[in-house]
A and B are shown apart, each in its own frame.
Chain A
Amino acid sequence: MTARPLPAPDARLTWLDRLRARPRARTALAAALPVGWVTLFLFLPYLLLLIHSFWRLDEHQTIVHQWTLASYRRLFTTDVYPATILFSARIALSVTLLSLVLAFPLAYLLAFKVRRYKNLMYMAVIIPLWVSYLVRAYAWKIILGQEGILNGLLAQLGLIHEPLEFLLYSKWAVIIALTHIYTPFTLMPIYAVLEAIPPSLKEASQDLYAGRFQTFLHVILPLSLPGVLAGSTFAFVLSMGDFIAPQLLGGNDSGLMVSNLVVSLFGVAYNWPLGAAVSVVMLALVVTLLTVANRLEERFNYRGKRGRAAKTDALAAVVTESRA
């Protein structure tokens, strides 16, 4: 080896080197942009929304900057608002349950029964999530309309003589469309959790005389709970927050969900304080739901730290491919 030595590195310190030795200054520098931006464009806006909900609109259609609970009072006493919130919750619940029923078997299939091309198949299930939300909602208009595909097919098959009117412009259309859109969302965390179950657990169960159904009931199902909870939470929250499907497919009786209220209050029905109050109520509901779901997930997370990591990854994945 070359015996010629190399000179020692330059020992003079630049300002950057000195900064390295001062952790507080480094933290401040690193935090300046992200924290500053997030404070300005996230924290303040959310705060402002909250504040707006405590203001009110006066007769001249101006927003009065006075602390009052008038907007909340109006919200809770006028029938249409609580009724709409409840209606939205019921729809969201239906969507959640339906998505679960659809997503779980497919997730199970993918996780346990598909050997080759597992990744490809999974990708295939996820792809629709990336296709425009509008496209997917609008497709149901074509399918469910009076002259739509479903009616046309049924008529051709001789099953009906007159087009089924209840299909489109009803709450069924909204539920079906939302289920179609959010089922892949529900599937992702369930798949992630099922995938993480080591095959040796199934084998151990069968070694201990449990049949396939019993193995499913006593081993797979409990272990899948965190994923099920995560998936349902997202289906519910996203459905509650949806304003396009109701308007497109809900017609007169089912066209109004909570988010449509907000849209109109910030638009034509101009009443920002009231709109803010509705938003805050929706936000409170969502946060409560998420907290409860979180607690439940932790309780049912039998796989410990590693399981939690898998679930969080799934969560991150679901959440990043989210919402219109």
Chain B
Amino acid sequence: MSTPIVELRSITKRFGDFVAVDDVTLAIAGGEFLTLLGASGSGKTTTLRMIAGFEQPTAGEIWMDGQPIHALPPYKRHVNTVFQNYALFPHMSVWDNVAYGLRMRHVAKPEVAERVDAALAMVHLETLGGRIPRQLSGGQQQRVALARALVNRPKVLLLDEPLGALDLKLRKEMQLELKHLQTQVGITFVYVTHDQEEALTMSDRIALMRAGRIEQLGTPREIYERPATRYAADFIGETNLLPARVRAAAPGRLTLEIEGQGLEVPAPSSPVTPGQEVWLSVRPEIMTMVDGSPPAGHNSLEGTVEEGIYAGSLTRLRLRLPGGGALVLHLAPTGTARSAGAHARVAWPADRGVCLVA
């Protein structure tokens, strides 16, 4: 990465005894859409607030564009935030809300007018400038908050779960709109959310956070298809985590013992020793039902069908394995129906199973 636009260098944040952010180092590239993904308490919001300036790191430094900014108050950072509850000023009109930052920067009046009108047009709210926030719907308020931040052309835009209050359909629309906006405007977006689907849809890179640390950093594809830990595999999407024991290790390949059978899987990044306990992550959608022997390059397991739950675009089938564990797979609507108690065999491409050590 050429000079990253934002650099977090070993930042830690403590609230009394509680460590919210634990020695996090992260480099954010200019123009990228980076998502901080995690459950509540994972430290993602605190990290965002430290970039904005609302919290001071207990330790570590924050650099932006080659300058240290961790000692600067929020109003001196070239960063803007879109808040979760929008935080629009109720006593000002939409137009005045959007103009606020520019006016505080003493931008000349005609230029303010020009930029505000353009910002409102960008979020398709040109006609609502005279309204006050109370008169707007949730989605409209959200767009005002966006315009109010973007009009200032910050180096980085911080978004704190901005879509949380919207209903599902609107949320999905806004996800696409935000992504397009970001590409169009070219500003770095740092986005916080707990919704992994949202993160997968919108981000260039995802930093999965857990207990104040970055669990895994990578592109959506990398995190989804090559999770580094069980937590990562389980948090994003659905997966089956099969307990296994290492039988034999060879360069690039492992033989695992699962359910009494030997399965060959790609080796994980960290070295393993024979006899070590590991897990195999197999996503439900990569499995298919087979009759007879599985095709080459596939691993397979057999079990008894327990139940199938219809979910519209797919059916979730649960298989009880002889060793006591269970497997969940997704059946396409056109798949053959399986009745409870029937014996079944599933198979998946061996390369797509992920062996996890932690």
Contact = CB atoms under 8 A, between A and B. Distances in A.
Touching chains A and B, CB distance < 8 Å: yes
B76 A10 contact: yes
Interface stretch (B112-120, B158-166, B272-280, B343-351): B112-120
A9 B152 CA distance: 10
B286 interface: no
Nearest to A5: B153
B143 interface: no
Which of A1, A8, A17, A21 is the most central at the interface, judged by chain B CB atoms within 10 Å of its CB?
Answer: A1
Contact of B105 (A2, A9, A17, A21): A9
Given A8-B155, A17-B73, A2 B118 contact: yes
Q: How large is the interface on B (under 10, 10 to 19, 20 to 34, 35 or more residues)?
A: 20 to 34
Contacts, number: 36
B180 interface: no
B56 A21 contact: yes
Given A6-B107, A6-B152, A1 B185 contact: yes
A120 interface: no
Contacts of A2: 114-115, 118
Interface residues of A, number: 12
A28 interface: no
* Secondary structure call for the A interface: loop
A20 interface: yes
B75 interface: yes
Contacts of B105: 6, 9
B134 interface: no
A5 B154 CA distance: 9
Given A1-B122, A2-B115, A9-B105, A17 B153 contact: no
Contacts of B73: 13, 17, 20-21
A10 B114 CA distance: 23
Contacts of B150: 1
B77 A9 contact: yes
A17 B69 CA distance: 14
Interface in B99-155: 102, 105, 107, 114-115, 118-119, 121-122, 150, 152-153, 155
Contacts of A10: 76
A11 B77 CA distance: 7
Contact of A13 (B76, B118, B121): B76
Interface string A220-242: 00000000000000000000000
Which of B67, B78, B119 is the most central at the interface, judged by chain A CB atoms within 10 Å of its CB?
Answer: B78
Contacts of A13: 71-73, 76
A13 B77 CA distance: 12
A6 B152 CA distance: 7
A8 B78 contact: yes
A6 B153 contact: yes
Interface in A92-121: none
Interface in A1-45: 1-2, 5-6, 8-11, 13, 17, 20-21
A11 B72 CA distance: 7
A20 B185 CA distance: 34
A21 B53 CA distance: 11
B75 A9 contact: yes
A244 to B, nearest CB: 44
Nearest to B102: A6
Given A1-B119, A2-B115, A6-B152, A17 B76 contact: yes
Contacts of A20: 73
Nearest to B71: A21
A-B CB proximity, top 7 nearest: A8-B78, A6-B153, A1-B118, A1-B122, A5-B153, A9-B76, A2-B118
24 contacts: A1-B118, A1-B122, A1-B185, A2-B115, A5-B153, A6-B102, A6-B107, A6-B152, A6-B153, A8-B78, A8-B155, A9-B75, A9-B105, A10-B76, A11-B67, A11-B72, A11-B76, A13-B71, A13-B72, A13-B73, A17-B73, A17-B76, A21-B56, A21-B73
Interface of B: 56, 67, 71-73, 75-78, 102, 105, 107, 114-115, 118-119, 121-122, 150, 152-153, 155, 185
Given A1-B121, A13-B71, A21-B71, 9 more contacts: A1-B185, A2-B118, A6-B102, A6-B105, A9-B78, A11-B76, A17-B76, A20-B73, A21-B73
